[in-house]
Amino acid sequence: MVTAMVMAVAEGVVQAGDGGFFADTAGIMLILPFVAFALIMTVGKRLPYHGGEIAVAALAVNTVWATVLFVMNMTGGVLDQTTFEIGSIGSGLVFELGWVVDGLSIMMYFLVNFVGLVVFVYALGYMHGDRRLEWFFAAFSLFAGSMLVLVGAPNLIQLIIGWEGVGLASYFLIGFYWEDLDNVRAGNKAFLTNKVGDVGLILGAILVGVSLGTFDLAELGAAAAAHDEALGAVAVAGGLLLFFGAMGKSAQFPLHIWLPDAMAGPTPVSALMHAATMVTAGVYLMARVFPLFEYLAADTRQLMVVIGAITLLGIGLLALVVDDIKRVLAFSTVSQLGYMMTAVAAGGYTAGLFHLFTHAFFKALLFLGAGSVIHAVHSNNMSDMGGLRKEMPTTYWTFVVGSLALAGIFPLAGFWSKDEILATLGQEGYITVMWVAVAGAFVTAFYMARCIALTFHGTYKGHGHPHESPPIMTRPLVALAIPSALFGLLNIPGVSLPGIGSFTEWLAVREVVMGDHHAEAIDFGLAAIGLAAALAGLALGWLVYGKDAVTQMERDRFQVPLLYPLLRRKYYVDDLALGVVGATTGPLARFVNWTNNYVIDGVINIVGGAVKWLGGLVYNGLDQRGVDGVFNGLSAMTDGAGSVLRRWQTGRVQQYASAFVAGAIILVVLFVFVV
């Protein structure tokens, strides 16, 4: 099945135009959000939407630019790079700022601006009447600008600038409700965990840049493709360091611990930053330096694939046992990032980026849908929800579309991108990992079915009367549901849509040969396996959680909705027995009842319980003890070192001054008598 697939390595670079006016002025997209930031900070308080209109306007203009570039790239290919020299270090290393316009960056421009615009509009409704709105929109604009600086970066230096910018904005927004100490802690945790990864990124960038003599990404790729010796000497170390940076930002195991806590931020923030765009920066980085791994550091691939695989299945299981709807989606995001990372690490440049592309739409949709629900019931916990499908039809249907797309149900977007990843893994010989990914698809479908069942089905268990969100919030849901449903069709393997080609071809517009591996035709067998796993997950999730929502959270016991008609027939049998035959048929009715309750329920309960137990095991054993233990140990070491060193801090200013004078004397003596 796998061997029958036809795969190909991209042979050459697609011929492309220079994009003309829109490519030359693409830098405006990188600047406008910062202008918006400054404007909101200065005049935002006086505006009716507290600066939200400025943020939306900036991203609307950006979206026009990005869409035009996206369409131009579809129809002919756009390849351009504009840089300005800022300064230089010594004779060789030049520091430039600018923007790249190629297939990859155009895709990211479109993604960030379009999803960003939709989420900003949604935030106008969601955040209405909240505290510090101008600060919210300012920091959000800061994020958008930094993200665009990151994805438009022609060199590693600018990429790091954007990288730190989005980290800063993330810190601001996770701790947005800083009155609650837990939120502040979550922000700190996210920032510090990211910083751990950032050290890897910066060291990797320095190592690669200095040994190559340039930080330019296109030159880096070209050098890698040409098997440059200076680069080859540091490729493995540099590649691993860069990957470490990507692990932090893209929440790969074991640096994933910050992302679930990051849900403390407002829901639009979770949707745009911690699901759709910012956390994909790591995958983007891996794609940008892809030739490094393809040509020079192939040895690092196994490690990266294994980490991605652990992330995609291990963290996906965690989503089964949490009650907070945003945390379910957060664990899901980590799991999906694991898919992307695995794919890119295995050589599936297109596969990973295509999943990044589709995931951004349906995961942003799911978060916004969850936000709409939270807005209605004033709680994050699914135990306070239930039965909302009647009150919130638009939210419900768009959420279902997003869930099915995430679960990978044909023909929604997730099906195509997940299938592409499975195909790549199979073709590249990572058969075990491919089966892990199939299992991941099963788990994904399971928890999304659980999420829908607990949130929208059964009876309402919260307080007050929930009602559908205003149009300013539901229309963005629809705007995201459409691409979530349809964008998978952009990259059917082997199919080039008339006039616009396919996603694979758009990504192929770039300056260097990436050495991408992608499928040339659909592998129906593998697609069927993936689809079957997803359907099985949905079915099991529905069986376990779909029925009788009043008690499902209270009793730790799984109900069986598929047998619900049977249950009704049971009462029918019961009535019949009591009414017609009387007590004589009692034992028969009791037997049927017993069979129903213990045998059939039992089987389902055992399966469901086993999956849940596994999830709990991973969560408690591995995540809480193992991973957190390492971090606790590190912090204890830091604490110990501090308690020794702090004894120098006597607080006596004159002791400090004495040391200062002594130091000055020593320096003078050194300079006068020694040097």
662 scored as a contact of another protein (CB under 8 A): yes
* Total number of residues that touch another protein (CB under 8 A): 17
Place of tokens 């796993």: 533
Contact status: 46 vs another protein (CB under 8 A): no
Site membership for another protein, residue 669 (CB under 8 A)? yes
Instruction: Name the segment binding another protein (CB under 8 A); options: 191-199, 244-252, 356-364, 639-647.
Output: 639-647
Which residue stretch of 205-213, 218-226, 591-599, 660-668 sits at the interface with another protein (rule: CB under 8 A)? 660-668
Angle at 98 between CA 96 and CA 103, to 5 degrees: 125
Nearer to another protein, 551 or 649 (CB): 649
Binding of residue 654 to another protein (CB under 8 A)? yes
| Residue among 333, 361, 330 nearest 117 (CA) | 361
Q: Which residue number, 432 or 638, has a Cβ lying nearer to another protein?
A: 638
Q: Which is nearer to another protein, 46 or 647 (CB)?
A: 647
Q: Return the half-sphere exposure (C-beta side, CA atoms, 13 A cut-off) of residue 352.
A: 30
Q: Is the dihedral of CA 128, 134, 139, 145 positive or negative?
A: positive
**Shortest separation between residue 294's beta carbon and another protein, angstroms:** 52
Is residue 637 a contact residue for another protein (CB under 8 A)?
A: no
Residues facing 8 on adjacent strands: 518
Decide whether 181 or 672 has the Cβ nearer to another protein: 672
> Smallest distance, Å, CB 655 to another protein?
8
Question: Segment near another protein (CB under 8 A), from 218-226, 346-354, 629-637, 663-671?
Answer: 663-671
Among 651, 670, 674, 675, binds another protein (CB under 8 A): 651
Residues 51 to 80: which contact another protein by CB under 8 A?
A: none
Candidate list 557, 621, 650, 670; residue touching another protein; CB under 8 A = 650
Q: Are 247 and 201 in contact (CB under 8 A)?
A: no
Site for another protein contains 603 (CB under 8 A) = no
Tokens 């991203």 sit at which residue?
Answer: 59
Q: Does 674 bind another protein (CB under 8 A)?
A: no
Decide: is 667 part of the binding site for another protein (CB under 8 A): no
- Nearest distance, CB of residue 643 and another protein, angstroms: 8
Question: Out of 226, 647, 670, 674, which residue is the one contacting another protein (CB under 8 A)?
Answer: 647
Region binding another protein by CB under 8 A among candidate stretches 26-34, 299-307, 522-530, 655-663: 655-663
**Least CB distance from residue 638 to another protein, whole Å?**
15
Cβ 650 to another protein shortest distance, Å: 6
Name the 3-class secondary structure at 496: coil
4 belongs to the binding site for another protein (CB under 8 A): no
646 binds another protein (CB under 8 A): yes
Sort residue 523 into left (φ over 0), alpha (ψ -120 to 50) or beta. beta
User: In the 8-state DSSP scheme, what is residue 277?
Assistant: S
Instruction: Write down the least CB distance from residue 184 to another protein, Å.
Output: 23
Helix axes 281-288, 103-126, angle to 10 degrees: 170
Nearest to 563 by CA among 592, 600, 532: 600
657 binds another protein (CB under 8 A): yes
**Distance separating alpha carbons of residues 355 and 334, to the nearest angstrom:** 13
Helices (H), 93-152: 103-126, 133-151
626 versus 663: smaller Cβ distance to another protein: 663
> Which run of H or of E encompasses 542?
helix 524-545
Say whether residue 665 binds another protein (CB under 8 A).
yes
Kindly state whether residue 675 participates in binding another protein, applying the rule CB under 8 A: no
For position 672 contacting another protein by CB under 8 A, the verdict is yes
**Whole-number minimum distance, CB 670 to another protein, in Å?**
12
Could you give the 3-state DSSP secondary structure of residue 517?
strand
- C-beta of 465 vs 647, nearer to another protein: 647
Q: In the complex, what is the shortest distance from the CB of residue 675 to another protein, in angstroms, rounded to a whole number? A: 15
User: Quick one: which segment of 445-453, 546-554, 598-606, 647-655 binds another protein (CB under 8 A)?
Assistant: 647-655
Q: How far is the CB of 192 from another protein (least distance, A)?
A: 22
Residue 641 engages another protein in binding (rule: CB under 8 A): no
407 contacts 358 by C-beta, under 8 angstroms = no
Instruction: Specify which residues 87 forms β-bridges with.
Output: 95
Among residues 576 and 665, whose Cβ is nearest to another protein? 665
CA separation (Å) from 317 to 47, 85, 335, 336, 626? 45, 48, 9, 12, 16
Which range in 23-31, 220-228, 593-601, 646-654 contacts another protein by CB under 8 A?
A: 646-654
Cα–Cα–Cα angle for 272, 275, 280, nearest 5°? Answer: 100
**Residue 179 C-beta: closest distance to another protein, Å:** 24
Question: Is 668 a binder of another protein (CB under 8 A)?
Answer: yes
DSSP string, 292-345: IIIII-GGGHHHHHHHHHHIIIIIHHHTTS--BHHHHHHHHHHHHHHHHHHHHH
Shortest Cβ distance from residue 634 to another protein (Å)?
21
Contact status: 653 vs another protein (CB under 8 A): yes
Query: Closest separation between CB of residue 644 and another protein, Å?
Result: 10
CA distances from 538 to 34, 320, 325, 615 (A): 43, 13, 17, 17
Comparing CA positions, the residue from 335, 327, 406 lying closest to residue 374 is: 327
Q: Which helix (H) or strand (E) holds 444?
A: helix 431-456
List, in order, residues 6 or more apart from 59 with CB less than 8 Å away: 32, 33, 113, 116, 117, 120, 144
Note the residues at the interface with another protein (CB under 8 A).
643, 646-647, 649-654, 657-658, 661-662, 665, 668-669, 672
